[in-house]
Amino acid sequence: MTIIEVSTGKKLPIQIVPVEMADYKSLVKSRYFFDWETEKNEEVYKLVIESDNSILGIISLERIPGEWRVHIRLLTVSKENKGSGKKYEKIIGNLIAHAAKIAVAEYGELACISLRPKTEIAQHYIDKYKMNITGITLSLIVPEILDLINQFDNNL
C-alpha cells in the first residue's frame, strides 16, 4: 500500500497498524480533528509511512459479525493532510481499503463496510469510492469492495 507525496509525486510505502496506548498522547484534537481518547477501547489503526513514525491518518472500526459488516466509527487524516495544501494523497482511501480487507477476510462474499458521512459530503464518498447509499448510511459490498481493495492494495 502506498501514498503519494503531493510535492514530488513520489509513491511512498505505508503501513496500517494498531494504535498503541502510548500513541493517544499525540492524538490531539487540534491535529486529528476528533477526541480519539474516547476510542481507546475500540479497534483503532494508524497509517504511517514505513520509514517514519508520524501518524498521517487514523481509523476506528467496529466488527459486527451478525451482519457480516465492519462499521467505520471514526476516520481522519492529520491536519497537514487536509484540503488543497495537503502533503500526501490517498490516506483516506488506504484506511477505507484496510477496513474492507478486514471485512473480506472475516466475511468473504458477504462482506460489507459502512460509514455515515454528513449529507453534504456523502456524494464525494459515493463518487470516489463507488459506495451505495441506504438512508444516511453508505456501504460497500461485493463486487465494489473487492475493486477498492485491489485499487489500493499494491501488494495484492
Partner 1 sequence: MIQDVEYGVDSRYKNKKERESESIALMQARLEKMKHLPKEQIIKAKLLQLKLKMDNFLKEPENDNDNHFSKFLEIYIDAIYSQRSKFAKDINVTPVFLSQIINNHREPKEEFILKLMIHSEKVFKNVCDFHKKTWYQVYFQEKIAETMSSQDEWRPRIEKQVNLNELVEK
* Residue ranges in contact with partner 1 by CB under 8 A: 33-34, 64, 67, 69, 71-77, 81-84, 86, 92, 101, 104-105, 107-112, 114-118, 120-121, 124-125, 128, 132, 134-137, 139, 141-143, 146, 149-150, 153, 155-156
Q: How far is the CB of 37 from partner 1 (least distance, A)?
A: 14
Q: How far is the CB of 135 from partner 1 (least distance, A)?
A: 5
Tell me whether residue 52 or residue 109 sits nearer to partner 1 (CB atom): 109
Question: Cell 480519539, residue?
Answer: 36
Give the C-alpha separation, 148 to 12, whole Å: 19
Q: Give the shortest CB-92-to-partner 1 separation in angstroms.
A: 5
CB of 16 to partner 1, least distance (A): 12
CA distances 152 to 35, 65, 89, 119, Å, are: 27, 24, 12, 25
Shortest Cβ distance from residue 25 to partner 1 (Å)?
20
Contact 44, 59 (CB under 8 A): yes
d(CA 128, CA 147): 12
- CA-CA distance, 78 to 58, in Å (whole number)? 8
Q: What is the DSSP letter of 63?
A: E
Three-state SS sequence of 107-141: HHHHCEEEECCCHHHHHHHHHHHCCEEECCEEEEE
